[in-house]
């Protein structure tokens, strides 16, 4: 996992004494924060993908899917979960923000 030494140093400094605004860019964001959050979203993609696949293929079925009475609708929901899970696992580098997740899900449905 990516951990920026500068981000750690900035966080430690600001928690203890100094104001944080000296380290902000022109948009009011710490550049290290963006990279850190993107890394979290990428890690999250792998975990979410394996969980989606496991809940459809494995023995840990979820009632949200298994309780769908219409077989065609249930198969469609299962396929959406599998496609999303595979995309999350195989292409985590694309999952760098919340919008990337929603865009992917919209493109699959």
When divided into structural domains, the chain yields a total of 1
| Structural domain harbouring 57 | 33-108
Asked whether the whole model's pTM tops 0.85, one would answer no
Within 8 A by CB and 6+ apart from 9, the residues are none
Tens of pLDDT, residues 6-58? 555 655 555 444 445 555 666 666 666 677 777 888 889 999 999 999 999 98
Q: Measuring CA to CA, which residue among 46, 42, 24 is closest to residue 33?
A: 24
- 18 within some domain: no
Q: Rounded to an integer, what distance in angstroms lies between the CA atom of residue 38 and that of residue 30?
A: 13
41: left (phi over 0), alpha (psi -120 to 50) or beta: alpha
* Residue at 75 is within a domain: yes
| Structure token digits, residue 94 | 């694309």
Q: Is residue 19 part of a domain?
A: no
Three-state SS across the chain? CCCCHHHHHHHHHHHHCCCHHHHCCCCCCCHHHHHHHHHHHHHHHHHHHHHHHHHHHCCCCCHHHHCCCCHHHHHHHHHHHHHHHHHHHHCHHHCCCHHHHHHHHHHHC
Residue 43 lies in a domain: yes
Q: Please write the tens of the pLDDT for every residue from 44-63.
A: 999 999 999 999 998 888 88
């Amino acid at each position: 996992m990516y951990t920026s030494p500068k981000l750690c140093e900035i966080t430690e400094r600001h928690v203890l004494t100094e104001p944080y605004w000296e380290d902000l860019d022109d948009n009011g964001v710490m550049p290290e924060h963006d990279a850190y959050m993107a890394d979290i979203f990428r890690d999250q993609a792998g975990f979410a993908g394996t969980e989606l696949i496991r809940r459809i293929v494995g023995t840990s079925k979820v009632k949200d899917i298994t309780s769908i009475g219409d077989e065609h609708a249930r198969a469609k929901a299962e396929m959406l979960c599998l496609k999303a899970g595979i995309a999350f696992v195989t292409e985590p580098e694309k999952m760098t923000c919340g919008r990337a997740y929603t865009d992917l899900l919209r493109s699959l449905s």
